[in-house]
Structure 1
Amino acid sequence: MAEPKYDIYFRGEVLPGANDAEVKAAIAKIFKANDAKLAQLFSGKVNTIKKAVDKATAAKYQQAFKKAGAKVVITAAKVQESSPQELKTTTSKTQDSAAQVAEKSWDVLPTGSDLLTSDERRNIPDVEIDTSAIKMVSPFAEVVLDERMDPPAPDTNHISVADAGEDMNPNRAAPLPDLELDLSEFSVAEAGVPLADKKEKIVPPAPDTNHIKLV
């Protein structure tokens, strides 16, 4: 069986803690890239660095990018090299499975990448909004309306002023008359006189103990 091969991609990702300018300078030195090529490498789009390389070569590129402070993406090659015998037995199936391989090839895109193609995006026309009536002024400027509308004065015809001391509630109910009490049957005792009649002290009878014997 042939040795597995790997594809190498770069999306312009910088490792945490690395300086962007230093990483770009290191990558430019590795690839001897000019400004245009460097801008393409760090555009956020997927850039193919190498395809179908062996494991040792893939590890070499991984270490070089890591040393530069960048993150490289290494995936199993979509098309692996085969021996002559394997090529002989699989040639008839290559065309039929090519579409399936493309459909099953998934990858993780970096943050901010476009997930939809131009054909998959909805074409939403821009909405024209009339902003001619909107004015931008300084937050410290005094806003003066073009037409100041004063509120109408309230109607006070039903309000009158009473004289001082006048009852503000003329519909008040008449006060109840004083309650007349007949106190002719009541008298006031002198100081020290008992208020209650003395009652004869009742002594309870002695109990009958004739039926009780001491033994």
Structure 2
Amino acid sequence: MSQAQYRVILTGTLASGADPAQAQANLAQLFKLPPDRAEALVNEAPVVIKKGLDEATARKYQAALHKAGWLSEVRLWEAAESTDTPPAAPPAPESPRAAGPAPLEASIAPPGSLLADPREVPPLQVDLSGITLAEPGATIGDPREIPPLRVDLSELSLAAPGARLDEDPTGR
């Protein structure tokens, strides 16, 4: 007789005291999923997370999910019985998504049409009473005199045309 195998099922219920947003982020991090896929996983619950596990490993998955903020169940996996006898009936789908995609009731909007209702944006209230406009060509700021820059270049020299600049001219 083979060892009993179990499956871990995410119920989609938050553990007591868990923050929904943090639990969602923890689930995404635990299974290395994008946040939108983790949200879809919870919305499709109950979902089989893992199957064909021994009881100790299944309990580890359950503990990890509880630590992430989610309740889960560990159930005996019936498909782990004998492989010698064919199944009497085809197995029922374990989740709604296993049955196949639902018919899509979508349409495509014509080009240039608005996809959302326009929002009413209140006019911006800006106080311009302290601002004046100068006439064209007027000097706006007071001109200031900038002193000339004095740079000492007496230590610098020019090499002869064609001289190698990577060699030390002093011979050191």
TM-score (norm 1): 0.39
Task: Give 1 or 2 for the bigger CA radius of gyration.
Answer: 1
Greater RCO structure (CA 8 Å; 6+ sep) = 2
